[in-house]
A and B are shown apart, each in its own frame.
Chain A
Amino acid sequence: MTEADRETTLDRKLLELLVCPLTKGPLIYDQEKSELISKKARLAYPVRDGIPIMLPSEARAIEE
């Protein structure tokens, strides 16, 4: 993996470990938007510089 890839992709081991902090349910990684999506909470958590930001206050609300 190049340094540039590391900047944009989320470590697979880390992805496996993460759940939605609110629902503790699974997350779907949208690599293009660099977001982790919790369907149950209807929130998209941003991933910035490879660091997932698992704070509901920082997440984007997903429309129906």
Chain B
Amino acid sequence: MLNADLIIGIVSLVIAVTAWVPTRGLTLLGGVFVDYTLIVLASLSVVIVIKGIAKPEKLRFFESVVERNNILIGLAMLLVYLVFMPKVGFLPASYLMYAAFNWYLSEDRMKTKNIIISVLVSLVVVTGFYLVFRNVLGVPLPKGSWFD
């Protein structure tokens, strides 16, 4: 069980301090609004921390181990996609990401038919969007630094 208010308050305080340090050298015009915002942010954070200590509100973050694992796997897949997209290029990375998510969310993952469907749908959807964004909307999508 987590003390939600305490976590929110402490994280907000850390953010306020992190923003306070590099904004000390700003001019009056550039810094006045930042300063007011940081004062308000820090003050409210302290109120929330005090509330978290005085009247803690306990919350369960994940409802089950399965939910936690699903979320972590999903985030890991997204993370891998974002790390590799600029390196291998938009198209190959997106084919892999789309097919992987499609396969991961299918019910009978080990069936050959499902794997083939995931790959085919990935090819069609990603290529379709790639062509629309690149050729119609003129968005230059990453080519991949490994192939430059």
Answer whether A and B are interacting partners: no
Q: Which residues of A contact B (CB under 8 A)?
A: none
Enumerate chain B interface residues (CB-CB to A < 8 A): none
